[in-house]
Amino acid sequence: MQSGFKTKLMIIMGVFSILLTLVISLVNQHRLKEQLIAGFKRESSLVEDVIVTAVSDADKAFQMSDDKLEEQMRDYSERLLEHYRDNPDVASWDYDALKKASGGMDIYIIDDAQKIVHSSFAPDVGLDFRADNETMRRFAELLAERLKGDSFVADGLDQESNTGKLRKYSYVPTPDHKYLIELGLYQENNPVFQSFNFLEIGRKLAEKYSYIHEITVFTTSGKAIGKSGEDGKAALVSSENRPYFDTAYRENDVQQVKRIENGRSVAYRYVPYIVQYSQDQEVRYTDHRIVEIKYNDQELLDKLKQNNNVFLIQLLATLAIALIISFVISRLVARPLYLASHDWLTGLFNRAAFVQSLSASIAKNNRRGQTTGLLHIDLDNFKQINDELGHDAGDAFLVEVSKRIRSAVSHPGAFIARLGGDEFVVILNDLDNERTATEVARAIIERLRSPMEIKGVDVVKEYQTTASIGIALAPEHARNSNDLYNCADQALYYAKRTSKNAYCTYGDAANFDPTG
């Protein structure tokens, strides 16, 4: 009995320790996970702000210095228009001489099919802006509109399609709208660009933060500023990411897509912004920028995985310690707790536990409309065993009696206790009638009549160690625990006086006259 109680106590404390440890560990693990994610988002937001600010500052600085350059491009465009009026045969123009006369500006002649047919920059001759890709088609539509117009237009910072180098371009249509004259001037040696080199800032950010793989600034057409692809031409936004790029441009809102590349998780974020020097400034096609930041998502995932591994190790270690502590505590407190409610000799419940249980049983059965039965058991001739065989024999006898009572009582939910000496009680719950209680009493008496050998003596036969039982029912005989106990005690007294080795109900004993 005591070992069973100790086991239950250890299990309860172990389960409690496990649950407490698990809850605390999960809370800590969740907090650390949130801190990692929050730190990643915070640094990512900082990187985005820095690079957007750098690009914006560079563009604004270019705009501030653009007025003089645009005026030069406008003047030379007018000279080229005069040259066209004098000689509309653009195939006969000396483009190298024209470039030299412009102070280093490349000249491009774009026909009504949006194709460069002549240029001082030979690699671009034959460049078809209506080529089968989204980047070229969108720009070709813009060029077609400019060809139909009558005004000079200068774009902001842009890049060369075939090399990806930074240039500033201007456009003016010929009077007959057959051609669009384009001027282009490299900007990489511009002192403003050297002072506001956002490409270098992007590279340094990628070096500083290991989870940033690459930062690329794209124009509206999807061409990377200052970056070339494997073919040596301007790098383009990937076709699979193009829908997110277009959405970012169209809705002017950050877009993100995650992908698996070379077995590792990466995230692409497209951050749009508009280059605007003043609120009343007209926004040009080339004043839009999309910053692509490629994040190494795997690093965050690896850190989260590492956090999970640390969590599991800490959890297992904490659980082991908690279980050891539970075991030690249960060993230390099990016996005192056990003895607080159990009889030290027989392992049955003691008087204190009986008093509490009887009150609770009466209340519970009353709510259910059921009867509570109380059997008060007293052993006949027990004193002779103690006197003749010794107290150790008496203790052995009580232990055996408790075992036989437990085996005789098969009623579900029954409560058995030893009140002290040779007194025992049985509480029967959910009784339908008195008959069930009397059947349990008969079973106990019959079980105690069986031979019982102690120190080589059959004490049942030698000392006539029988049992007398008093039975009382609630609410029929009493409504509270004290009265019920007194009724059962009175019934026991009647059983011992009239005929030992028998049971008696309170109803039989109610009219008994002890003096008679």
Shortest CA distance to 402 belongs to which of 381, 374, 428, 421?
A: 421
pLDDT(514) > 60: no
Dihedral (C-alpha) 385, 388, 392, 393: value to the nearest 10 degrees?
-50
Dihedral (C-alpha) 324, 327, 331, 332: value to the nearest 10 degrees?
60
Over residues 309-324, the pLDDT tens digits come to 777 777 777 777 777 7
**What value does the mean pLDDT of the chain take?**
83
Global pTM reads 0.46
Tokens coding 371:
């009867």
Share of the chain above pLDDT 90, in %: 43
Q: Residue 46: which pLDDT band, with cuts at 50, 70 and 90?
A: confident
**What's the pLDDT at 516?**
45
pLDDT(3) > 60: no
Mean pLDDT of 462-466: 91
Write the single-letter amino acid at 383: K
Tokens coding 358:
């009887």
Tokens coding 256:
């993100």
Strand order in 467-474's β-sheet? Answer: 415-420, 423-431, 371-379, 467-474, 503-505
DSSP three-state, residue 476:
coil
CA distance 385 to 489: 24
The region that residue 164 occupies, defined by phi over 0 for left and psi between -120 and 50 for alpha, beta otherwise, is left
Tokens coding 463:
């000392």
Over residues 79-92, the pLDDT tens digits come to 999 999 999 999 99
Tokens coding 118:
């002549």
In sequence order, what are the residues at sequence separation of 6 or more whose Cβ sits closer than 8 angstroms to the Cβ of residue 438? Answer: 471, 503, 505
